Structure 1
Amino acid sequence: MHLVKKIEIIANSFELGKILDGLDKSGVNAHIVIRNVAGKGLSGTREDLDMTMLDNVYVIAFCMPEQIKPVVEKIKPLLNKFGGTCYISDVMEVRSVRCVASM
């Protein structure tokens, strides 16, 4: 097990490409995208919108602790300009490493 950072971003789906590009440029190349997210936040309920471009997405990514500063530098301006939120937390990664025997 080892410590990694979990990045959770909730934003307008219209900005998804910019968000994923920001993660990629920060060295975070793997992510999960959940589309059509509805809920209630500070700006109220967003589940009644009919237009697809106004749907929210939930992006989950993981990175090493030393990668988090570049991520914040890329993502924060996007969220400030277009709206959305980002949460960063410490989590433990459990990875099974398969050993290959030499022949």
Structure 2
Amino acid sequence: MIAQKKVEIVINKPYLKKILEFLEKQGVKGYTVIEDALGLGERGLMRGDEITDTFKNSYIFTVCDEETANRIAKDIVPYLKKYGGVCIISDVLYVVH
């Protein structure tokens, strides 16, 4: 196992492409996206039954080294201020296979 950082981002679906481009510029080699993420947050309940994608969320996660995670944490702030959303970074153990 290797100690890594897990970066989790929830963003409005219309801005998903911008955040994925941002992650790739940060050196992220892979990620997982779950579209139409449901939950309760600052904007209220996201039930997933909206007519358009404007108010739907996407959940993105990636695993990376600490240096990359720190860079993401610093550089994503303007995106979150402009587009909303959240970014959470935690310690994980990556199972090498």
TM-score, reference length from structure 2: 0.91
The amino acid that maps onto 1:33 is: V
Indicate whether 1:91 and 2:92 are aligned. yes
State the number of aligned residues: 96
Q: Give the C-alpha shift of residue 41 in structure 1.
A: 1.1
Q: CA deviation at 1:91?
A: 0.2
After TM superposition, the runs of 4+ consecutive aligned structure 1 residues lying more than 2 A away are none
Residue identity over aligned pairs, in percent, reads 38
Q: Distance in 2 between matches of 1:17 and 1:72?
A: 18
1:17 corresponds to 2:17:
yes
2:76 maps to a residue whose letter is I
Deviation for aligned residue 1:75: 1.8
TM-score by length of 1: 0.86
Inter-partner Cα distance in structure 2 for 1:55 and 1:29: 25
Task: Measure, in 2, the Cα distance between the counterparts of 1:38 and 1:50.
Answer: 15
| Larger Cα-atom Rg | 1
Contact 1:23 1:74 (8 Å CA) reproduced:
no
Q: Give the RMSD, CA atoms, in angstroms.
A: 1.2
SS in 2 for 1:95: coil
Supply the distance in 1 between the matched residues of 2:46 and 2:9 (Cα, whole angstroms): 16
